[in-house]
């Protein structure tokens, strides 16, 4: 009787001196300020991505220095040089397309986006919001949580759509609202959790472990 042959892993059939090369997702990180979220992504060393570009609309953003310190290419396109958001974003796309960017990560990018960029990267652009969406969308979310008397708030990673903080939710983290919290102290707690969940969300996307069904983001089984 012939015996069965079971291959348990690629290493069983590849020469020992050959390595399996996995294609990395090419990511562009958009920044406007200090870049603490960018630093968290860099420090996470996500094996399934390559940061192909750090883009900023602000030539003085310290995040650009963080990128340069790690040998990551940077690009500045000042929105003030354009008459409209659409023209500004059209110029951005001219730079992203040749780089083969597959995912845009908004990391403290302080510009409202038009449908030009959002549609070009539909379900391929993500953002952080300092609240547990759908509660407290828009600006001053931590202040909104305190003023509403909330006992918990947190951070949300979500896909970007054409609404305001209304895209499908990928991950969330909860933080307590303590009696002595002000807006700054609450934001510090939220940012600490954001630095944890943002790299994790990027990892899930880049490894193909999630899917979007309507407004829901589900884990693939």
d(CA 54, CA 27): 9
- The count of residues in the chain is 221
Considering the candidates 129, 158, 191, 195, report the single residue annotated as catalytic: 129
Residues 148, 215: Cα–Cα separation, whole Å: 26
* Chain mean position to CA 216: 17
> Which residues are within 8 A (CB) of 94 and not within 5 positions of it... i.e. 6 or more apart?
none
Verify whether residue 129 is a known catalytic residue.
yes
- List the structure tokens of 89: 């974003």
Q: Round to whole Å and give the CA distance between 134 and 147.
A: 17
What residues have CB less than 8 Å from 157, skipping those under 6 apart?
A: 126, 127, 128, 169, 170, 171, 172, 194, 197, 198, 201
- Cα maximum dimension of the chain: 78
Q: Which residues contact 132 (CB under 8 A, 6 or more apart)?
A: 152, 153, 154, 155, 156, 172, 174
Q: How far apart are CA 42 and CA 36, in angstroms?
A: 10
- Name the residues annotated as catalytic: 129
């Amino acid at each position: 009787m012939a015996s069965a042959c079971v291959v348990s892993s690629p290493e069983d059939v590849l020469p020992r001196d050959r390595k399996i090369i996995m294609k990395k997702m090419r990511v562009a990180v958009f920044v406007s300020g200090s870049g603490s979220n960018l630093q968290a992504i860099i420090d996470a060393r996500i094996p399934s991505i390559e940061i192909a570009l750090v883009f900023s609309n602000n030539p003085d953003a310290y995040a650009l220095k963080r990128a340069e310190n790690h040998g990551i290419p940077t690009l500045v396109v000042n929105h003030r040089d354009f008459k409209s958001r659409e023209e500004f974003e059209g110029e951005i796309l001219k730079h992203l397309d040749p780089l083969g960017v597959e995912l845009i990560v908004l990391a403290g990018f302080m510009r409202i986006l038009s449908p030009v960029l959002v549609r070009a990267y539909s379900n391929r652009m993500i953002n952080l919001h300092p609240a547990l969406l759908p509660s407290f969308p828009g600006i001053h979310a931590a202040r909104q949580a305190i003023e509403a008397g909330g006992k918990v708030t947190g951070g949300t990673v979500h896909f970007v759509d054409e609404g305001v903080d209304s895209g499908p939710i990928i991950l969330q983290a909860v933080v307590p609202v303590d009696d002595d919290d002000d807006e700054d102290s609450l934001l510090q707690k939220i940012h600490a959790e954001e630095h944890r969940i943002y790299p994790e969300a990027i990892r899930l996307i880049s490894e193909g472990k999630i899917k979007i069904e309507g407004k829901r983001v589900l884990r693939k089984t």
